[in-house]
């Protein structure tokens, strides 16, 4: 089974670890560069991207994360994790940085302007309807030509899931709605790469 790390300086780490184990992976927490080196792939959880950036910087994990992503390590980011995997963000705080990797612009707290949190059934990667929970969620404003759109919400208007090669990101939190279909999809990606 692949060993998949969960970025564990901030966010809903336990829920992602549970889904990864359910999807057949071995889940481990990643807080230090040595722990990052030991994993086959990484999940960046939901939480607060500004805090994640500051802590990753303080714990000297930001550059190692960028290096491994550049090296082709598979990664999946959910909500704040999606923001962390975006090459460019809008609505960030002053100086806010990301890990990057996916050629897209992500708008922070995009749905939050209308409603703080909501649930919706969406079609993810043609796998059929999936219950998705959005909590002060970002949406994807635009994507580069190498990025595949895997799901949309709001009657197709808003991009909420994308993939670029070994990198996957969702605006929503599959780890909070019971089913772990997105994690199964990711573990399958990791096995194939």
Helix/strand/coil for 41: strand
Non-local CB neighbours of 61 within 8 Å, separated by 6+ positions: 7, 9, 30, 31, 32, 33, 36, 55
Among residues 7, 8, 13, 47, which is the contact residue for ligand GLN, using CB under 6 A? Answer: 47
User: Residue 135, annotated ligand binder?
Assistant: yes
Residue 116, CA atoms < 13 Å, CB-side half-sphere: 0
Q: Find how far residue 176's CA is from the centre of its chain.
A: 14
Among 19, 173, 180, 183, the active-site one is 173
Among residues 108, 158, 163, 183, which is the contact residue for ligand GLN, using CB under 6 A? Answer: 108
Site for ligand GLN in 49-78 (CB under 6 A): 49
User: Residue 163, annotated ligand binder?
Assistant: no
Angle, to 10 degrees, between the axis of helix 13-22 and the axis of helix 181-192?
Answer: 70
Closest CA to 171 of 96, 112, 92, 98: 112
173 given a catalytic annotation: yes
- Taking the least distance from each CB to ligand GLN, the nearer of 106 and 187 is 106
User: Residue 47, annotated ligand binder?
Assistant: yes
141 given a catalytic annotation: no
**Is position 35 an interface residue for ligand GLN (rule: CB under 6 A)?**
no
Length of the chain: 193
Binding site for ligand GLN (CB under 6 A): 46-49, 79-80, 83, 108-109, 135-136
Name the binding residues: 47-49, 108, 135-136
* Catalytic sites, residue numbers: 79, 173, 175
* Residue stretches of the annotated binding site for L-glutamine: 47-49, 108, 135-136
């Amino acid at each position: 089974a692949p060993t998949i790390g969960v970025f564990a300086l901030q966010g809903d780490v336990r829920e992602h670890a549970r889904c990864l184990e359910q999807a057949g992976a071995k889940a481990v927490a990643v807080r230090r560069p040595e722990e990052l080196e030991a994993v086959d792939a990484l999940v960046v959880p939901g939480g607060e991207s500004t805090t994640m950036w500051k802590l990753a910087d303080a714990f000297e994990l930001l550059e190692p994360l960028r290096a491994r992503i550049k090296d082709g390590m598979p990664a999946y980011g959910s909500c704040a994790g999606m923001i962390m995997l975006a090459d460019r963000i809008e609505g960030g705080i002053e100086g806010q940085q990301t890990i990057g990797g996916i050629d897209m612009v992500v708008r922070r707290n995009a749905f939050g302007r209308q409603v703080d949190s909501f649930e919706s059934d969406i079609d993810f990667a043609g796998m059929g309807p999936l219950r998705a929970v959005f909590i002060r969620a970002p949406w994807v404003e635009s994507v580069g030509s190498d990025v595949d759109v895997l799901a949309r919400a709001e009657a197709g208007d808003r991009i909420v899931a994308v993939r670029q090669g070994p990198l996957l990101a969702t605006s929503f939190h599959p780890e909070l709605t019971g089913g772990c279909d997105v994690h199964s999809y990711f573990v399958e990606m990791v096995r194939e790469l």
